[in-house]
A and B are shown apart, each in its own frame.
Chain A
Amino acid sequence: MIAPASLLWFARHETRLAWRDIMTMLQGGRSRRGAWAAFAVVIISILLHLIAYVVVAPNIQILEHPDKATLVVTTGSAFLAWTLMLSQAIESVTRSFYARADLDLILSSPAPTSHLFIVRISAIAVTTTAMAIVLIGPFIDVAAMLGGAKFLWAYALLVAMGSSATAFGAAATVLLFWVAGPKRTRLLAQIFAAIIGAGFVIGIQAAAILSYGSLSRIQLFRSPKWIAAAPDLDSPIWWPALAATGDRGALLPVLGVALALLIMATLSTAKALAHNANTVASLSRRAVAKQNLPADFRRRSTAQALRRKEWMLLIRDPWLLSQSLMQLLYLLPPALLLWRNFSSESGHLILVPIIVMAAGQLAGGLAWLTISGEDAPDLIATAPVKAATILRAKIEAVMIAVALAIIPFAIGMAWASPLASVAMIIGAGFAAGAAVAVQFFFRAQARRSYFRRRHTSSRIATFAEAFTSISIAGAAALAAAGFWLALVPTTIAALIVLGARAAAPRTVHS
């Protein structure tokens, strides 16, 4: 019998909720989809292992006996992965005391709230590690298959990375709360998380471009300058990299330190997080924001009114705007590459798929906001406007915003390679259109503040959106290079969109 409100009791409660969330996410709300979800997981897992094989197989000899160059590359890559885990942990910790859900109930009960936060921080460590295992696990499996079971110790390194990232994430969030106060912490934490998550990757890419004219981070890590500046092989700095290659002697201290950090951070921040959650709950309503613009009653078509409304709502929400524009941050390295390789034909070809993918991702996010994130669905549905007109206006709002982001690149590219520019424009249009279509098929009413969690509502939609963008990006790159083979990924993208339509839940007439 587990004592109520004890650590184990909270752990059981949280596990049950998390398990049900996972099942809903996989099944998309239909229990019959369980078998299909399992089948999809197997197929994706096989694909990830095939990709891992292509990457790991040629390098297995080096990984078995790593030299300094290999350790630099492994350490750099592991650090990049760790920054992403840290970013995810900061977001999760912040959400844990701003998302009210069941917090009001628990905070108003006599149960010790620090217990809840100990369990929630531990859960964040588990989920952060699990995400890393999903993405990096196939590489470890392939290395173990080709180089021996010792590589399986790399899973323990992932546990260490997840634990330490969560420890730093919890500490950073508490510190931010202390410095910035409850009103600003949420936005600041999200910006901070984004800078850590994206900034480091982008910074390394920018350095690689400026030094070598390439987007490849590996090329930068392999540079003689970096290798010469790196510490000697007996330095503890290489322990995580050695642990990744199956060195148990290096792994044990890394894992020990990481777990100790997690335990310390959990015990020392749980009370502070509980206190912060209470402070957030007692915050007065949002500060009054005034608009001193005069009323602007003028004749507008319904489409104009709808587009204007969508843009106003986006521009006035700094959080949503930053989340949407975050995807444009990834366009900075390609922009730098375009500027640096202005006269090189191959440089442009690299840019085409990147920009097409960015267009698809941006359009997907904006389409979710306009279609599923409609805050007054009843108002729109009861307006004397045809549903098709409403949908068209919303799609136009998305496509115009995407076009504004893409046009500067198209103009820059047209100057050097008109064919690549045309391929990019058409590809970006198709990728954006496909992403909008997927969001339309899987539309489900949700609050706009759930923007970051929109992917959890349907994994099918997430994968469909990502794979259509990838396929169309590939098609655009092939078309820019003048290959008719571009028709193959285009057909695949069309089939994915059709498949998404068939798999989408039936919507109730409204």
Chain B
Amino acid sequence: MDALTTRDLTKCFDRPAVNALNLTLHGGEIYALLGPNGAGKTTSLRMIVGLLRPDFGSISIFGIDALKAPVEAKRITAWLSDEPMIYDKLTPIEYLEFVASLWQVAPRTAQANADALIEWLGLRPHAQERCESFSKGMRQKVALAGALVHDPRLIILDEPLTGLDAGSARQVKDVLLQRARGGCTVLMTTHILEVAERLAERIGIIAQGRLIAEGSLDELRTRARGLCDDSSASLEDVFLELVAEGVEA
């Protein structure tokens, strides 16, 4: 069963933000959605996690119709936005305890998961401190721990590494890889092409609300007109070429 399927997903504000988006993610894969600013990446993710209602189309998460049964779909999904939203007056442990209660995780499992995440993300020395004194990187890690504490099957992240230092970025990447190895599916957007290149098994490129290319880096290289003979082309070259092609089309 596919982890995520969207069919003709469409959302218009003043103009079409997402236009008939068709995505299919398989279980245990890491999928990176790339695109220029305003391409519709965040809008797509917000529709998938239930923060925005699409004008048209369908979303299926592990066979659950996310529009008809949103609570069931949310139970197995985690969302992490680019701006970590946590509670300043709670400690990381209290935050995780609150999130676990929202997802109705059994107390023993929640405590074990929280302890493991606090350890993996290097938050142990700050576990009893209120989040108000945390840097952006630490807040992002707390938010990520919150996203993972209920053992989601599908993790959706919007620019998860923005603003993180090299050490924190490495910790987050390691956690995502470890989750994917455990069978969890990851859908993420990023502007850091190197991250997509290293982490993602498949990459989707979106421009003006449309998915213009999709595949592994090699497949994308082959698709990029004018670069097909250049086997050493970086993802940046491929991305810029495909976006230019997509915009022209």
Contacts and interface: CB of A to CB of B under 8 A. Distances in A.
Contact of A383 (B86, B103, B110): B103
A16 interface: no
Contacts of B87: 309, 313, 375-376
Interface stretch (A75-83, A296-304, A432-440): A296-304
Contact of A287 (B78, B97, B128, B133): B133
Top 7 nearest A-B pairs by Cβ distance? A305-B101, A384-B75, A384-B74, A376-B85, A316-B89, A509-B53, A383-B102
B101 A302 contact: yes
B214 interface: no
A381 B53 CA distance: 12
A287 B107 CA distance: 31
Nearest to B49: A382
B71 A385 contact: yes
Interface in A348-403: 375-386
Interface in A285-312: 285-292, 295-302, 304-306, 308-309, 312
Interface string A248-292: 000000000000000000000000000000000000011111111
A485 to B, nearest CB: 46
B90 interface: yes
B111 A295 contact: yes
Nearest to B100: A297
A352 B142 CA distance: 47
A317 B53 contact: no
A302 to B, nearest CB: 6
A89 B51 CA distance: 41
A384 B72 contact: yes
Give the secondary structure class of A's interface: loop
Contacts of B223: none
B159 interface: no
B27 interface: no
Interface in B45-79: 49-53, 71-72, 74-75, 77-79
B197 interface: no
A155 B189 CA distance: 60
B94 A297 contact: no
Interface of B: 49-53, 71-72, 74-75, 77-79, 81, 85-91, 93-94, 97-104, 106-108, 110-111, 114, 128-130, 132-133, 135, 146
Interface of A: 285-292, 295-302, 304-306, 308-309, 312-313, 316-317, 375-386, 508-510
Given A381-B51, A510-B51, A286 B71 contact: no
Contact of A300 (B75, B88, B101): B101
Contacts of A376: 85-87
Nearest to A292: B128
A384 B107 contact: no
Contacts of B114: 295, 297
Given A376-B86, A386-B71, A291 B94 contact: yes
A288 B51 contact: no
A82 B135 CA distance: 43
Given A286-B133, A295-B93, A309-B87, A382 B75 contact: no
Contacts of B106: 299
B103 A291 contact: no
A510 B102 CA distance: 17
Nearest to B102: A383
Contacts of B94: 291, 295-296, 312
A290 B102 contact: no
B30 to A, nearest CB: 20
Contacts of A510: 51-52
Contact of A298 (B71, B107, B128): B107
27 contacts: A285-B135, A286-B133, A289-B133, A290-B128, A291-B91, A291-B129, A295-B93, A295-B94, A297-B111, A302-B102, A302-B104, A306-B102, A309-B98, A312-B89, A313-B89, A375-B87, A378-B79, A379-B79, A379-B99, A379-B146, A381-B50, A382-B79, A383-B102, A384-B71, A384-B75, A384-B104, A385-B71
